[in-house]
Structure 1
Amino acid sequence: MNIIIVGCGKVGCTLVEALSSENHDIVVIDSRPEKVSALTDTVDVMGIVGNGVSHTTLKQAGIETADLLIAVTGSDEENLLCCVIAKKSGHCQTIARIRNPIYNEEKDFLQKEFGLSMIINPELTAANEIAKVFQFPSAIRVDTFAKGRVELLHFKIGSNSPLCGLKLSKFHATLHCNDILVCTIARNSEEVIIPNGDFEFAANDIVSIVAKRRDAIDFFRKIGLEKNRVSNTIIAGGGKISYYLAKSLLMSGIKTTIIEINQQRCEFLSEQLPKATILCGDATDKELLSEECIEKAAGFAALTDLDEENILLSLYVNGISSAKTVTKVNRINFTSVINKLDLGSIIYPRVITAEYIIKYVRSMNNSLNSNVEALYKLEDGKAEVLEFLLKENSAVCNIPLQNLKIRKNTLICCIYRNHQVIVPSGQDCMMPGDSVMIATSGYNISDIKEILED
């Protein structure tokens, strides 16, 4: 697929790295020569120094034959204009990054009037991910499928967990949880395992399970990880993610306090979020945190602009309280080190954004078998969990799963049919219209038939 990416900032670079690994032909455009050179020197892409709004620049990038243009510059207006010119110049699909809360309120109108295929708001998307974790704090990450009806829950095994040393073959009999399916195990931030019956759980493993909410609550209670939904939250930093998160939490009835050092930003937040408590101060001030009873907080989100501050704040809060902590990290170069720290749930906004766009790119294949409905990457892309909506003539339909020749390192996690969640057995069949969750490790797919051996 021919893809043009306008903007070589954090999100643009993450997109280039992810999409280039999937064998797309990519051209990047940015007005900063050093940004373009940094990408073309490390990734096999073509770079153009110029203004992405310029028709001449877009023509040079091959807009007339492009399949997709993604505008992720720092300016919402530039992204919108770039997409409009691209639509006029060629016949490609367009995706724009829109961050302004005012525009976000009008995104449906903008998408329709500007002919956009997709609008992505990284800050809103990250805030939604954090809100899900605060709603279900037993998990360190919550991914949703089937329009929110099915959840993939990730949790970390503690050193005293009853799971330590337990073989997967004895999992259901020991814990009496037949409606829980173990999908993947991330171990030592180096590998993601799709386990078989001989697999043995160990401390510090990151386990992902598929379950209905009530079954998951019962399971977490049995392994000593039961936590109630947070009742109050302190947010360090008053940026866009904090704004969207506070808005969501307040709507859910969760008392929310934001600590922001910039006076002007505090005034904006006070006007826009009248039900929130806005404090003008330094979130790294221990006395201020103590005055706000951080020791008794149910939830804490470190969302300042500095990764170092966020990491230190979460480590400090985890040391003095039992709060559910969320840590925002922008840089992804040291994930193997960061994942070893006690930071609670870690949010990488640019990675979340890239996942949404990659899902759309794969769905453009217009397969006869299935559509990609959702996609989540695990451990820097070492594994993926995807949702497919099966079509009438899909090659995998109406065949018992035990008779399908499924590739190694592949697991059919869940089938959602007629408002029912099915944890599949060998006798179950996938049917047209089903939403099916698939976990893969070591390879990428864009069509469900690709889970079958050649």
Structure 2
Amino acid sequence: MLGRMNVVIVGGGEIGSQIAEALQHSHNITIVDTDPDRAAAFEAMDVRFVHGNGADPEDLRTAQAGRADAFIACTINDDVNVLACLAAKGLGAKETMAFVTRKRYVEAFAETGSMKTVGLVIDRLLWPQRTLAKQMVDIVRVPRAVISTAFADGRVRLLEYKLEPGDPFLHQPLAEVRLPANVLVAGAIQGDAFVIPSGRTVLAPGDKAIFMGTANSMRAFEARFARRKRHPNVVIIGGGNVGFMVAEELQGDGAHLTVIEQDEARCERLAKWLPGVLVLRGDGTDLELLESERIEDADALLALTDDDAKNLLVSLLGKQLGIPKVITRVGRSRNRRLFERVGIDIPLTPRTAAVQEVLNWLHLDNVEHLASIEDRAEVMDVVYPPSCKVGRIRDLGAPPRSLIGAVLRGDEVIIPTGETTLRHGDHLYIVTTPDNVGAVQRWLGQLQSVY
């Protein structure tokens, strides 16, 4: 989907507004929402606002959904999102995406699902809670890691650690540090600033260091910070969809799991679905309950209720009890920095990853935006164009505040140095700040125009 597109977004809440903000300057955006008061939030944007119901064909005609190159339904109501996409497809929308929170919709619209067999099609279903659960499981699996993610079908890995006294690689310029083979420092968060490292960069306790390397090298690298436990002890506060999916995945790893949930009926279902998991009915903010169950012995605590305030309190209690890893679900993206300021190391929101998935789905710029690093930096996958010069990285003049962390050439992963030669068709995994993405794209464009 290249060129200027007509994009219709049903739902003017946090997700809809973030998508609109990202697209407004390069595409024609229409927002549809049932709340007329939401129009004020879009007055400063170059978008069109339609007061209407996204599941009503007449309102969709008013929004010109039939001319949409991309139609995105991201309200908080699954049924509205699904009906809106089906109606828009019937009106002529080219591509449709629905946000959902229930597995049954994902299954129904799969290739062999019941809806597809009767001709009802939604091009993409996005389940943000599932994405969040997978992200959390990856972090739990690696002791001390604040971020754990993989690219290139798992062949390239990225790990972020909050550095402590006694950790390796501290107090000396990176040029003098002997990192393991096929591992590099791809970035660092020092205070509130994200730093693309140079040979002069010095890491200190309290910094967050981002390492990137091949899968095999990074598996061995983990032990430099902490060894994996064969059966970690994990406590989950909140047995909703995210809590259940996390528990289900970690149970397969052999983890010792405790789930604390307030709703009695939900506890009964969890106990049935998760045999071998200790399911307790109770309030995760009840310090007496936490102490009676010796929660302080946990290797990881996950605060996964639907209430940001409760998750914050649970997380602070976990930190007070000395639990090594506390992972917190944050419903509202704007609350994330607040959580960080009060000492929560791993606040995660499903909405940030969801918006990124939408932008990748649209294929806006021949760049795939793979991951966000605490909203301060991102990892891009760029294919080195055939019209660019083949040459050494040090000679190609990559823009400041960017770093090529890995190169995928066919099936081979290369952790590059300045002497590495880039070839046509290489996948470049570039770490940069969000405001510098345009500079990276212009750099590639300049290389094509010059050569």
TM-score bracket relative to the smaller structure: 0.7 to 0.9
Partner of 1:63: 65
Q: Of residues 85, 88, 94 in structure 2, which corresponds to 1:86?
A: 88
Q: Of residues 145, 150, 173 in structure 1, which corresponds to 2:156?
A: 150
The code of the aligned residue for 2:339 comes to I
Instruction: State the shift of 1:38 in Å.
Output: 4.5
Cα root mean square deviation, aligned = 2.7
Note closer, same or farther for the CA distance 1:19–1:241 as it changes in structure 2 (3 Å cut): farther
Partner of 1:115: 121
Counterpart Cα distance in 2 of 1:230 and 1:37? 51
Note closer, same or farther for the CA distance 1:161–1:274 as it changes in structure 2 (3 Å cut): closer
1:5 paired with 2:9, answer yes
Counterpart Cα distance in 2 of 1:151 and 1:270? 34
Q: Of residues 414, 417, 430 in structure 1, which corresponds to 2:406?
A: 414
Counterpart Cα distance in 2 of 1:231 and 1:128? 17
1:272 paired with 2:273, answer yes
Instruction: State the shift of 1:405 in Å.
Output: 3.0
Partner of 1:14: 18
1:375 paired with 2:377, answer no
Instruction: State the shift of 1:449 in Å.
Output: 7.1
1:444 paired with 2:446, answer no
Question: Is the Cα–Cα contact under 8 Å of residues 4 and 61 in structure 1 kept in the other structure?
Answer: yes
1:221-271 alpha-carbon deviations (Å, 9 max, x no partner): 44x444546623111011111121112112222232211101122223233
Note closer, same or farther for the CA distance 1:50–1:122 as it changes in structure 2 (3 Å cut): same
Question: Is the Cα–Cα contact under 8 Å of residues 404 and 452 in structure 1 kept in the other structure?
Answer: no
Task: Give matches, 1:392-403, under 5 Å.
Answer: 394-396=386-388, 398-403=390-395
Note closer, same or farther for the CA distance 1:453–1:199 as it changes in structure 2 (3 Å cut): farther
Instruction: State the shift of 1:140 in Å.
Output: 0.4
Counterpart Cα distance in 2 of 1:330 and 1:48? 26
1:317 paired with 2:318, answer yes
Task: Give matches, 1:200-279, under 5 Å.
Answer: 200-222=202-224, 224-228=225-229, 231-279=232-280
Note closer, same or farther for the CA distance 1:282–1:154 as it changes in structure 2 (3 Å cut): same
1:89-123 alpha-carbon deviations (Å, 9 max, x no partner): 23421111121122234442358554333211011
Instruction: State the shift of 1:40 in Å.
Output: 1.4
Question: Is the Cα–Cα contact under 8 Å of residues 96 and 120 in structure 1 kept in the other structure?
Answer: yes
Instruction: State the shift of 1:205 in Å.
Output: 2.0
The code of the aligned residue for 2:372 comes to K
Where structure 1 has 5 or more consecutive residues not aligned to the other structure, the ranges are none
Note closer, same or farther for the CA distance 1:163–1:445 as it changes in structure 2 (3 Å cut): same
Note closer, same or farther for the CA distance 1:25–1:154 as it changes in structure 2 (3 Å cut): farther
Instruction: State the shift of 1:373 in Å.
Output: 4.4
Question: Is the Cα–Cα contact under 8 Å of residues 143 and 226 in structure 2 kept in the other structure?
Answer: no
The code of the aligned residue for 1:69 comes to F
Counterpart Cα distance in 1 of 2:76 and 2:167? 45
Instruction: State the shift of 1:328 in Å.
Output: 0.8
1:116-162 alpha-carbon deviations (Å, 9 max, x no partner): 33211011110000000011123101122112221111111225544
| Length-normalised TM-score, structure 1 | 0.87
Partner of 1:133: 139
Percent of aligned pairs with the same amino acid: 29
Instruction: State the shift of 1:6 in Å.
Output: 0.6
Instruction: State the shift of 1:52 in Å.
Output: 0.6
Q: Of residues 48, 51, 56 in structure 2, which corresponds to 1:49?
A: 51
1:26 paired with 2:23, answer no
Question: Is the Cα–Cα contact under 8 Å of residues 235 and 242 in structure 1 kept in the other structure?
Answer: yes
| Length-normalised TM-score, structure 2 | 0.88
1:435 paired with 2:427, answer yes
Note closer, same or farther for the CA distance 1:329–1:81 as it changes in structure 2 (3 Å cut): same
Instruction: State the shift of 1:326 in Å.
Output: 0.7
Counterpart Cα distance in 2 of 1:349 and 1:446? 28
1:186 paired with 2:189, answer yes
1:421-440 alpha-carbon deviations (Å, 9 max, x no partner): 21012333334554321112
Note closer, same or farther for the CA distance 1:230–1:374 as it changes in structure 2 (3 Å cut): farther
Question: Is the Cα–Cα contact under 8 Å of residues 388 and 444 in structure 2 kept in the other structure?
Answer: no
Note closer, same or farther for the CA distance 1:379–1:324 as it changes in structure 2 (3 Å cut): closer
Partner of 1:333: 334
Counterpart Cα distance in 2 of 1:229 and 1:444? 40
Counterpart Cα distance in 2 of 1:272 and 1:140? 29
Instruction: State the shift of 1:452 in Å.
Output: 5.6
Note closer, same or farther for the CA distance 1:446–1:249 as it changes in structure 2 (3 Å cut): farther
Moved more, 201-210 or 440-449: 440-449
Counterpart Cα distance in 1 of 2:328 and 2:307? 11
Partner of 1:99: 101
Counterpart Cα distance in 2 of 1:272 and 1:227? 27
Partner of 1:386: 380
Counterpart Cα distance in 1 of 2:389 and 2:157? 23
Q: Of residues 50, 73, 76 in structure 2, which corresponds to 1:74?
A: 76
DSSP-derived class of the 1:408 partner: coil
Where structure 2 has 5 or more consecutive residues not aligned to the other structure, the ranges are none
